[in-house]
């Protein structure tokens, strides 16, 4: 698949914050090889004023390195996943540009690390203000390139901006420690210092929020950043897989890079871990998920159905924390399946993300559609029942009907593979122990959800689920104030919250003697 990324080598000597579409955000320096909608950054200059009414001032096509927009030798087309229409052509950059971006970021780090926490805070706050000022136009860019409904895109922009606001505040809360030792003539200090240049690699499903969640923390800590957006977006669909590997390797093996932060598949995360191991780089990763959604007999069925709708079908099921396996206890199973099928038919509308009332946009590409088809076909061939949906939607080639399957068993693909699409497979269980065992059988553990009105059961299951995040009687759990991350093969480290900035800081012990 393609690769195209936006990196920005920041000139820390000129920490100017310019209007959207006019230049970079302060000091993060994205060396522009991407066309992802970067909040607060100039984007895809080559887009035409299409049916989405995309704002020309925000659209850039060139790379941005060391404070300058630079064209590449080649370009590739960007497509709207809903219509297949070409949105424009963007620069196709490779490993040399990536290395140049790393050098620019490293040079900037030498100055940026000395900028006061208060000034870093102020600059991040200004970036937040710019995002809010331009939120409608930024949301349109997301819908155009990603396909998600405009209302969801608007929500993502707000969510993105809130990470900048949060880390603008956390920048001033980087505290050290004083440790008293038995020696009377010594004092021991612990300092927190920025790790250095951070390589940030982000996914296509939240092309704005995954940038700010990482970059906001890095800038607040005093790091500079090189950002590589996803290679599987429509913006980079025509690039070669070999180029993606080349660029990723360059960014992750460069000796000037001290930190790698990645959101994406577990398979790719393992490759990047291998790259990082050679030079022992700091790593944080948010990888694949396979979230269980458990409904116990004591649950409020209507509440559970509402939570299932929110958790499963947001972004057409293309989120890393969306429910992938529905485990429903026998006594409540039939009622839950019936009401969930009714809600899907009543509340979900497939269409172009720019159309009023659309709740389900296209999947990102043909490969994503094929995977959902494969999971449905496999399940049906092994005895599953289609309650609603089950096939491609007539709206277009990248659209799939929201689908509910019952009579699902553990031997089906959808029971042990992440679908990443609008498929809700329901499996029946008898006991709490059985449900927890099924939920924990996966080798990943990002998020998990369950519904129960039994206080003792709530504590037991919340503690027993092998995941990094648990939603109890709640289907939407992401918020900037709380730590985001998983266990097992779902990743390393946490993002957001007061813990997120620690991923970009090193501890230094100072022993002050002779007192």
278 has pLDDT over 80? yes
**75 phi and psi angles, rounded to 5 deg:** -135, 165
> Which range (83-97, 147-161, 392-406) has the least confidence?
83-97
What is the pLDDT at residue 371? 97
Look at 463 and 250; give whichever has higher pLDDT. Answer: 463
**What is the residue-wise DSSP string for 139-190?**
HHHHHHHH---HHHHHHHHHHHHHHHHHHHHHGGG---EEE--S-TT-EEEE
Which residue in the block uniquely carries the two structure tokens 């090189």? 226
284 is written with which tokens? 């944080």
What is the pLDDT at residue 306? 98
Find out whether 396 and 363 touch, Cβ atoms under 8 Å: no
| Cα–Cα dist 466/458, whole Å | 14
Check 286, 418, 432, 503 and give the catalytic one. Answer: 286
> Which range (4-13, 311-320, 441-450, 501-510) has the least confidence?
4-13
Query: Does 27 qualify as catalytic in the annotation?
Result: no
Helix, coil or strand: residue 90: strand
Helix (H) or strand (E) segment spanning residue 385 = strand 385-388
241 has pLDDT over 50? no
Residue 37: pLDDT band (50, 70, 90) is very low
Average pLDDT over residues 68-76: 76
Domains and CATH numbers, the chain: 42-286 (3.40.605.10), 292-478 (3.40.309.10)
Interhelix angle 117-133/209-221, nearest 10 degrees: 160
| Cα–Cα dist 314/388, whole Å | 18
Which residue in the block uniquely carries the two structure tokens 């519904």? 451
53 is written with which tokens? 């009414």
Which residue in the block uniquely carries the two structure tokens 């590409």? 365
**What is the residue-wise DSSP string for 389-406?**
--SB-TT-TT-B--EEEE
| Cα–Cα dist 253/466, whole Å | 32
**478 phi and psi angles, rounded to 5 deg:** -75, 130
Check 25, 93, 320, 322 and give the catalytic one. Answer: 320
What is the pLDDT at residue 44? 31
Residue 230: pLDDT band (50, 70, 90) is low
76 has pLDDT over 70? yes
Query: Which residues lie below 8 Å from residue 223, measured CB to CB, with a gap of 6+?
Result: 109, 112, 113, 194, 195, 196, 197, 198, 258, 259, 504
Strand duo 63-65 + 86-92: pairing: unpaired
Q: Nearest CA to 489 among 462, 470, 466?
A: 466
Instruction: Look at the alpha carbons of 467, 469, 473, 475 in this order and tell me if their dihedral is positive or negative.
Output: negative
What is the pLDDT at residue 244? 53
Cβ atoms within 10 Å, residue 356: 9
What is the pLDDT at residue 312? 98
Instruction: Look at the alpha carbons of 472, 474, 475, 478 in this order and tell me if their dihedral is positive or negative.
Output: negative
**131 phi and psi angles, rounded to 5 deg:** -60, -45
Look at 58 and 427; give whichever has higher pLDDT. Answer: 427
**What is the residue-wise DSSP string for 290-314?**
-EEEEE-TTS-HHHHHHHHHHHHHG
8 has pLDDT over 70? no
What is the pLDDT at residue 127? 93
Residue 18: pLDDT band (50, 70, 90) is very low
Average pLDDT over residues 232-240: 29
CA 312 to chain centre: 16
Find out whether 438 and 425 touch, Cβ atoms under 8 Å: no
| Cα–Cα dist 322/208, whole Å | 18
SS (H, E, C) 244-282: HHHHHHHHHHCCCEEEEEEECCHHHHHHHHHHHHHHCCE
Residue 75: pLDDT band (50, 70, 90) is confident
Q: Nearest CA to 91 among 78, 82, 103?
A: 78
472 is written with which tokens? 């109890």
Q: Tell me the pLDDT tens digit for each residue of 314-368.
A: 999 999 999 999 999 999 999 999 999 999 999 999 999 999 999 999 999 999 9
> Which range (51-65, 126-140, 431-445, 456-470) has the least confidence?
51-65
329 is written with which tokens? 């206890």
CA 76 to chain centre: 24
Cα separations (Å) of 268 from 249, 296, 445?
A: 11, 35, 17
Q: Tell me the pLDDT tens digit for each residue of 144-183.
A: 989 999 999 999 999 999 999 999 999 999 999 999 999 9
Find out whether 193 and 146 touch, Cβ atoms under 8 Å: no
What is the pLDDT at residue 68? 73
380 has pLDDT over 90? yes
Residue 22: pLDDT band (50, 70, 90) is very low
228 has pLDDT over 60? yes
Look at 508 and 29; give whichever has higher pLDDT. Answer: 508
Query: Does 503 qualify as catalytic in the annotation?
Result: no
- Averaged pLDDT score across all residues of the chain: 86
Q: Residue 375: exposed, middle, or buried by beta-carbon count in 10 A (0-12, 13-18, 19+)? A: buried
Which residue in the block uniquely carries the two structure tokens 């959101």? 263
CA 391 to chain centre: 27
């Amino acid at each position: 698949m393609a690769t195209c990324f936006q990196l920005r080598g920041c000139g820390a000597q000129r920490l100017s914050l310019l209007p959207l579409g006019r230049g970079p955000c302060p000091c993060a320096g994205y060396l522009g090889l991407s066309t992802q909608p970067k909040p607060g950054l100039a984007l895809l200059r080559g887009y035409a004023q299409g049916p989405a009414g995309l704002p020309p001032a925000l659209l850039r096509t060139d790379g941005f390195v060391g404070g300058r927009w630079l064209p590449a030798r080649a370009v590739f087309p960007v497509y709207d996943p809903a219509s297949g229409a070409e949105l424009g052509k963007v620069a196709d950059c490779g490993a040399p540009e990536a290395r140049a971006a790393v050098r620019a970021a490293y040079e900037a780090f030498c100055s940026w690390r000395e900028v006061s926490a208060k000034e870093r805070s102020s600059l991040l706050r200004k970036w937040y203000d710019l995002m809010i000022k331009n939120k409608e136009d930024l949301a349109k860019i997301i819908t155009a390139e990603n396909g998600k409904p405009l209302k969801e895109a608007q929500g993502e922009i707000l969510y993105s901006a809130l990470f900048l606001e949060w880390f603008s505040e956390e920048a001033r809360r980087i505290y050290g420690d004083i440790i008293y030792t038995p020696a009377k003539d010594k004092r021991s200090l612990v300092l927190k210092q920025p790790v250095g240049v951070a390589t940030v690699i982000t996914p296509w499903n939240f092309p704005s929020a995954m940038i700010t969640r990482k970059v906001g923390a890095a800038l607040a800590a005093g790091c500079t950043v090189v950002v590589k957006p996803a290679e599987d977006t429509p913006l980079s669909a025509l690039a070669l897989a070999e180029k993606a590997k080349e660029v990723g390797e360059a960014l992750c093996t460069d000796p000037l890079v001290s930190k790698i932060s990645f959101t994406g598949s577990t398979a790719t995360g393992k490759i990047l871990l291998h790259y990082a191991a050679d030079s022992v780089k700091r790593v944080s990763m948010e990888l694949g998920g396979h979230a269980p959604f458990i409904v116990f007999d004591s649950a409020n069925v209507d509440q559970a159905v509402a939570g299932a709708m929110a958790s499963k079908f947001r972004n057409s099921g293309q989120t890393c924390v969306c429910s992938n396996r529905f485990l429903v206890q026998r006594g409540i199973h039939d009622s839950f399946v019936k009401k969930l099928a009714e809600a899907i038919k009543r509340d979900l509308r497939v269409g172009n993300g720019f159309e009023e009332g659309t709740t389900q946009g296209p999947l990102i590409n043909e490969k994503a559609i094929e995977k959902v088809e494969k999971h449905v076909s496999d399940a049906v061939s092994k005895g599953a029942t289609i309650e609603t949906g089950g096939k491609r939607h007539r709206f277009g080639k990248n659209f799939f009907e929201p689908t509910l399957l019952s009579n699902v068993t553990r031997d089906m693909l959808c029971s042990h593979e992440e679908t990443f699409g609008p498929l809700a497979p329901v499996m029946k269980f008898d006991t709490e122990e059985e449900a927890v065992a099924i939920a924990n059988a996966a080798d990943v553990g990002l998020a998990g959800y369950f519904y129960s009105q039994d206080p003792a059961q709530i504590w037991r299951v919340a503690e027993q689920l092998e995941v990094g995040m648990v939603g109890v009687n709640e289907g939407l759990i992401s918020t900037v104030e709380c730590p985001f991350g998983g266990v097992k093969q779902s990743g390393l480290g946490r993002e957001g919250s007061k813990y997120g900035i620690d991923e970009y800081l090193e501890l230094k012990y100072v022993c002050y003697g002779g007192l």
